[in-house]
């Protein structure tokens, strides 16, 4: 057993959120907030200094690198700190992207303070913590893999949701228009729908995409 505190980096572009996280976590024994980062790029640079145990990472930072990209950059280094995602976003697209990037845990910002502190300790120990809604949805994906959208299908449907045409989606994702139509056809089958509008509505209701 060691008395060395768990050293945290808070990465969020909202000063009020960082202040709130600091206020909650600095009251916890064995946890020390040593740095803050207002951008994902700053988080990557600060984490590389080697004195951080856990990074609390938001997913959206406005312009520039996002939280999942920062997580991938941080966890790719040797002896990297653990990354705990703390965000308001809980869609499959957000969750899977973060976990694939190397996040150790995924917590929502409305979690009770005691859950946040417990998640920090769990992450520092190298174990996984998932928000209950996120864990439930991942389990459902495992139980019914045939209905789960792939990452590319999720990207296509998210662009449909903001009103892009098949041609515009193809240009954005560097796909042919025919490939976009094929993705949409598979999406319709998986979701049991027959139109773009119904696909977007169903996927939003299921938490597969964010509106």
pLDDT digits (tens, 9 = 90+) for 87-116: 987 777 778 788 888 999 999 988 898 999
Domain final residue pick, 123, 140, 157: 140
**pLDDT value for 190:** 86
The stretches of the chain forming alpha helices (DSSP H) are 15-25, 40-47, 67-75, 92-101, 113-124, 132-143, 151-161, 166-173, 177-191, 196-205
**2 pLDDT higher than 60:** no
For residues 179 and 165, give the distance between their C-alpha atoms in angstroms, rounded to a whole number.
Answer: 13
CATH number for the domain spanning 34: value is 3.40.50.2300
CATH number for the domain spanning 179: value is 1.10.10.10
pTM passes above 0.85: no
**How many percent of the chain have pLDDT more than 90?**
62
pLDDT digits (tens, 9 = 90+) for 154-188: 899 999 999 999 999 999 999 999 999 999 999 99
With respect to residue 210, please indicate whether it lies within any of the assigned structural domains: no
**pLDDT value for 104:** 92
| 85 & 33 share domain | yes
| 128 & 175 share domain | no
With respect to residue 54, please indicate whether it lies within any of the assigned structural domains: yes
| 133 & 156 share domain | no
Angle CA(199)–CA(200)–CA(202) in degrees, nearest 5? 65
| 136 & 154 share domain | no
> Please, what is the average pLDDT of the chain?
89
| 131 & 156 share domain | no
Mean pLDDT for the stretch of residues 66-70: 93
**Domain containing 196: what range?**
145-205
**pLDDT value for 204:** 85
């Amino acid at each position: 057993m060691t008395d060395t505190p768990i050293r945290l980096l808070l990465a969020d572009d909202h000063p009020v959120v960082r202040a709130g996280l600091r206020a909650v976590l600095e009251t916890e024994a064995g946890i020390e907030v040593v740095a803050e980062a207002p951008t994902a790029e700053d988080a990557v640079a600060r984490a590389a200094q080697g004195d951080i145990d856990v990074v609390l990472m938001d997913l959206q930072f406005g312009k520039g690198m996002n939280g999942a990209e920062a997580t991938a950059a941080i966890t790719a280094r040797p002896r990297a700190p653990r990354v705990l995602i703390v965000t308001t976003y809980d869609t499959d697209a957000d969750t899977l992207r973060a976990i694939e990037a190397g996040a150790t845990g995924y917590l929502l910002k409305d979690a009770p303070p005691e859950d946040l502190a417990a998640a920090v300790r769990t992450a520092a120990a190298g174990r996984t913590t998932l928000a209950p809604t996120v864990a439930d949805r991942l389990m459902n994906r495992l139980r019914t893999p045939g209905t789960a959208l792939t990452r590319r299908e999720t990207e296509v449907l998210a662009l449909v949701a903001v009103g892009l045409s098949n041609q515009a989606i193809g240009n954005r994702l560097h796909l042919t228009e025919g490939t976009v139509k094929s993705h949409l056809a598979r999406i319709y089958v998986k979701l049991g729908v027959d139109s773009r509008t119904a696909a977007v509505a169903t996927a939003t209701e299921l938490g597969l995409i964010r509106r």
